[in-house]
Amino acid sequence: MSSAKPTSQKLGVVCRKRNTEMAEVGRWMQVNGEAIYGSGPTPFSDLHGKCDDAKNDKHGNPEFVPTWDWRATSKPGKIYVMIFPWPSAGKFELPGLQSKVNQAYLLAGHKELQADPTDSGVSISLPAETTDKSLPSSASKLRTRPRRSRRRSDFMKLKLIVGLAALSLVSTQLYAVPLPSSPAEAPQPNIVIILADDMGYGDPACNNPRSKIATPNIDRLAREGMKFTDAHAPGPLCHPSRYGLLTGRYPFRTDITRWPTQPLIEKGQVTIASLLRDQGYHTAMVGKWHLGFREAGYDQPLRGGPVDCGFESFFGFRASTDIPPYFYIRGDRAVTPPTAKIAGNNSEGWSPIQGSFWREGGIAPGLELKDVLPRLTDEACTIINAQAGQKSDARKPLMLYLAYTAPHTPWLPATEFAGKSGAGMYGDFVMMVDAQIGRVLTALERADMMQDTLLVFTSDNGPVWLPADVSRFGHDAEGGLRGMKADAWEGGHRMPFLVRWPGRVKAGTASDQTICFTDLLATFADICGAKLPAGAGPDSFSFLPVLEGRQPQDKPVRGPIVMQAGSSPAMMIRSGDWKLINQLGSGGFSKPSSIKPGPGDPAGQLYNLRNDLAETNNLYLQHPEIVARLKAEMKRIVESPVTRE
C-alpha cells in the first residue's frame, strides 16, 4: 500500500438492505490523484455497519468473522471502485442480517446505478457509456478470507461476486454517505443532545414566525437539519421526561416520586449512555440530572447518578435551579457541599412559580444561581475541546448530553439580554439559552466536528406561560397549542425537536411523524448497528428511516404514545390523529387540573389533532367507538411491559 498521505476527503459507497438503513460498505482514498486503496481485515459487523453479531454462525460455531481486502486504482479523471457483495441464503446467517439483498446503489450525482441481488452476492451494473475496455487491467479483485472455528462446515464456504463501477470525476462528483472524520475503527458520528428546560414549542422562531424571541442558533439547526413538528416528551414534567429520554421506557412504568432520595434508573438498566459507551463512545453529561441519587449526606458519594448509568463523566446539578439544595456535582461527589443557606425569592408581576423564583434552602458557599447556565456551557465546551485535542488514531466518538437548567425558573438573563426580547424576562432568558447553544456550535466548529456530529435539540416539557402572559406580551410560548408544563394537553409535552446530521439528514426538511423522546435509544442503537438487549428500551422505536428520508410519510414509524399527566392520575394516549385523555381538565398546572363530570357530561376528552390541534372540540360523546378502541389500546400498553416488539 502506498505510504503517501491522503490528499482528498474520504468518500464511500453505500448499499441498502431491505427495510433497513443505509450502511457504509466500502471506503477509499485518493492519494496524489493516482492511487485509491483500502484493505482489511475487518469484522463482518463493521463491514456492513448494521449487523448485530458476526461472531456466531447459525449453528453456534464461534469466531466466524469474514475479513476482506479490496483495492482499486485510478487514472486522471476516472475512478474505479470495488464493491463487495452480500452473503446469500444457504451460506451463513447472522442475527439481524437478512439473507438476501433487496437493492444496492452506487450513487453518483444523485443518480442511481441499478444493482441486482444474486444467490451469492450483489452485482453492480456498469453505466451504458462505460465499457469493459475502460476498466484498468491493474484493478485488483476483491478477496474474502473467512476465519472459521475448528468445526468447519461446508455451508460456510462463501461465494462472492464482485461488481465494478466506473465514475467520471470530470462530469460528476461521487455522492455517497459521507464518511466521518473520526478514525476508521470508530466510524460512528459524534452525538450531541442539547436539552433545554421548560422551553415551549412556540418559543423558537423556526416553529413560530410570530415569536417575540430571537433564537438564531436554534433556527440555524432547523435550517441545517430536520424539524419534527409532532415530537413528544414521554412526560410533561422534568424528571419523567428525562427518565424516558435516557432509558427508552415510559416513566409511568416506575415510581418517579422517589427521585428526591433514590435513583429512578435501576442498576444495570440500559440507557443511551451505557449503550453508546459499549459501542465505543466516550460518554459525557453536563447539566441537570433530576433523576435521583442514593443520598447519604452531601459529603458522601452520590450513587446511582450519571456515572453509574453509563456516563464516564458528569458535571452538573442535582435538579432544577429552584429546588434546593444548590451545588455542583462532579462525577459522584459534591464539588462543594451545600453548607450555606439561601432565602427564597419571587418576582413582582409574575405568578409564584415564574420570574426569578427559587426556593429557600441549602447552597454551596460562593455559588451564584445566575452563573449556572454559562458555567454548564463552559464545561460542555471544555469536553468538546478535549475531544478535538486527542490524537486521531486514539479518539473515540463523543456522546455529549448537555441538559441545560434553563429557561426553567429562576429566570436570570445576563445583563446583555435584559430587555432584548418582546416576552419579558422569560423571553430574555430564552435568548440567553440560544446564545449558549451558539457557543456550543462554535466550539464544535473550531474543533472541526460539525460535519461528523449528529446533534439533537429539544426541550424537556412545556413552559410555565399563562394565557395572561400571551395577552400581555403578544407572545405564545406554546405556539398555538393548548396548555403548558405538566398538562396532558399538547402544550405540556409537544416539543421543539431538531436533528442536524450533515450527509445523512437533508437540510431544511420537516417531518410530521409522531415520535417520542423514548425513541432515541432505539435510534442510536440502529445507527451503531447494535441490538438492544432483551428488556431494554421497551417503549423505544427507531426513527432513523425518517432521518434518512426513507420512511413513507403515511406510514407511522412507531405505535401509540401513552403518558401520565404531571399533577394528577390523568392518562392520555395518542394514536394516529386521535388523542384520548381519560378525565376532564388539564391534568397539570393549567386550571382546573381536574373536573368532575356532571350529568350528561363526557367522562374524558377526545380530540382529532389533524383537524383540531388546539384541542378545542371535545368529540368524546360523538365517537364512542373510537373512545372504546383507544381505552383498550391504552390498557394494553399500560399492562404490557413492552410496546416495541
Same domain, 275 and 379: yes
Query: Highest mean pLDDT: which of 33-47, 557-571, 606-620?
Result: 606-620
Same domain, 436 and 465: yes
Q: Strand 509-511 relative to strand 282-288: parallel, antiparallel, unpaired?
A: unpaired
pLDDT of residue 611: 97
- Bridge partner residues of 588 (DSSP): none
- pLDDT exceeding 90 applies to what percent of the chain? 69
Angle at 205 between CA 469 and CA 467, to 5 degrees: 15
- CATH code, domain carrying 588: 3.30.1120.10
- CATH code, domain carrying 390: 3.40.720.10
Per-residue pLDDT for 614 more than 60? yes
- Whether residue 281 lies inside any domain: the answer is yes
- How many other β-carbons are positioned within 10 Å of the β-carbon of residue 492? 33
| CA proximity to 16, closest of 108, 90, 109, 114 | 114
Looking at 33-37, 241-245, 352-356, which range is the least confident one? 33-37
Report helix, strand or coil for 240.
Answer: helix
Same domain, 535 and 615: no
Same domain, 241 and 96: no
Same domain, 565 and 543: no
Query: Highest mean pLDDT: which of 48-62, 387-401, 412-426?
Result: 412-426
| CA proximity to 319, closest of 311, 329, 331 | 329
Same domain, 516 and 612: no
Same domain, 201 and 279: yes
Domain C-terminal end among 489, 524, 547: 547
Q: What is the mean pLDDT of the chain?
A: 78
- Whether residue 458 lies inside any domain: the answer is yes
Per-residue pLDDT for 104 more than 50? no
Per the model's pLDDT, the better-predicted residue between 513 and 163 turns out to be: 513
pLDDT of residue 14: 31
Same domain, 270 and 373: yes
The dihedral through the CA atoms of 243, 248, 252, 253 has a sign that is negative
- Whether residue 416 lies inside any domain: the answer is yes
Per-residue pLDDT for 572 more than 50? yes
Per-residue pLDDT for 1 more than 60? no
- Assign residue 476 a region: left if phi > 0, alpha if psi is -120 to 50, beta otherwise? beta
Report the pLDDT averaged over residues 303-313: 98
Same domain, 105 and 201: no
pLDDT tier at 8, thresholds 50, 70, 90: very low
Domain C-terminal end among 547, 582, 616: 547
Cα–Cα distances (Å) from 222 to 280, 381, 439, 457, in that order, read 29, 22, 17, 10
- Whether residue 312 lies inside any domain: the answer is yes
- Whether residue 345 lies inside any domain: the answer is no
**Contact partners, residue 610, CB within 8 Å, separation at least 6:** 577
- Whether residue 147 lies inside any domain: the answer is yes
In contact, 529 and 45? CB cutoff 8 Å: yes
Same domain, 135 and 221: no
**Which residue range is the domain that position 590 belongs to?**
561-639
Same domain, 164 and 199: no
- Whether residue 261 lies inside any domain: the answer is yes
Looking at 5-9, 242-246, 258-262, 470-474, which range is the least confident one? 5-9
Summarised one tens digit per residue, pLDDT across range 486-534 is 999 999 999 999 999 999 999 999 999 999 999 999 999 999 999 999 9
Per-residue pLDDT for 180 more than 60? no
Total-model pTM:
0.74
pLDDT of residue 275: 98
Same domain, 141 and 247: no
Give the Cα separation of 437 and 404 in Å (integer).
Answer: 10
- Whether residue 537 lies inside any domain: the answer is yes
Q: How many distinct structural domains can be found in the chain?
A: 3
Indicate the residue type of 131: T
Domain C-terminal end among 547, 572, 602: 547
